[in-house]
Amino acid sequence: MLVIVIGLYALFVFSFILVSFFVAYHLVKFSINQKFSRTFVLLFLVVSFFLLLSNLVLFFAVDWNATIANFIPNNFTTF
């Protein structure tokens, strides 16, 4: 069950990185002023990196085995 949670989270991280590249590309390609474009792309990448880093730290701080055990009973005869 833990493999499913980590797999879904990996999909989330991959999607976040893909969307970040998409946003950074469009900030560079369609900006009005090139000087501000570089500044905003750098700011966006730094903020995105720290958001992803904090998300990773918080994700791995959770005891997923205990969390999953609270939602799924050990025996299914109680239903």
Domains contained in the chain, number: 1
pLDDT above 70 for 59: yes
The boundaries of the domain holding residue 7 are 2-69
Under the banding of pLDDT at 50, 70 and 90, the label for residue 68 is confident
Q: Roughly what angle, to the nearest 10 degrees, separates helices 64-71 and 2-29?
A: 110
Under the banding of pLDDT at 50, 70 and 90, the label for residue 78 is low
Token pair of 13, please? 């991280």
- Of 31 and 56, the structure prediction assigns the larger pLDDT to 56
Q: Examine residue 75 and state whether it is found in any structural domain, yes or no.
A: no
Residue 67 in 3-state DSSP?
helix
pLDDT attached to residue 76 = 55
Q: Examine residue 41 and state whether it is found in any structural domain, yes or no.
A: yes
Q: What is the pLDDT of residues 23-55, one digit of tens each?
A: 999 999 988 888 888 899 999 999 999 999 999
